[in-house]
Each structure stands twice: as structure tokens, then as C-alpha cells.
Amino acid sequence: MTPREAELRNPLLWLVRKGKELYLINSSGETLDLVIAETGGCQTVDDDCSTVTTSNKFEYSNIKPNDAVKVEEFDGFYDLDYLLQVSMRIQSKN
């Protein structure tokens, strides 16, 4: 790799996975008013495709800076046949 300048920017919000769980980390420096996370996706079987949604909705309020909140939990065996996505609604003053 050719030499290049170091990346000095830091993400304000980022996701990290620990085991089966997915967390949203608030590094924004401000308190988040609201975080709502849902998961959906699809499964393909032969030529058929079926959509899936989870009944769990993760909802949090007043998330302080440098706090983490759980936004999803995946099963390492049963979820392998699905294409899943997490959608989040995040509300803050800024």
C-alpha cells in the first residue's frame, strides 16, 4: 500500500457487533433524543422469495454520549438463510 495521510475523522454514530448482538455507539458528543431500530429482509428458496420482519422493535430515549444501545440480535445458525437489514430512526436536537 502506498503511503498516505492518516484518517483523523471519527464517526459520530457507529455499529459494533459483539457475539450475536449488534450495538449502536453514540460518539456524537450530544444526547440522542430517540433511537428506534427494526429489522427486515428476505429469504430465497429455489425461485421463491419471501419477506420477513421482526416483531421486536428496539426503542430507546435519552442516549448519552459514549453509550451503546442494542439494536438487534442475530442467531448464528437460523439467520444464515436470510438477507437481513437493520433500519434505524435517530432523533436529536442537531
The distance of Cα 66 from the centroid of its chain, to the nearest Å, equals 16
Q: Which DSSP helix (H) or strand (E) runs through 84? A: strand 82-91
Residue 1 has pLDDT above 80, yes or no: no
Q: Which domains does the chain have, with CATH numbers?
A: 13-89 (2.60.40)
CA distances from 6 to 27, 28, 79 (A): 20, 21, 37
- Cβ atoms of 64 and 26 within 8 Å: the answer is yes
- Please report how many Cα atoms fall inside a 13 Å half-sphere around the Cα of residue 24, on the Cβ side: 26
Q: In the β-sheet with 68-73, what is the strand arrangement from edge to edge? A: 13-18, 21-26, 68-73
pTM for the full predicted model = 0.80
Residue 50 has pLDDT above 90, yes or no: no
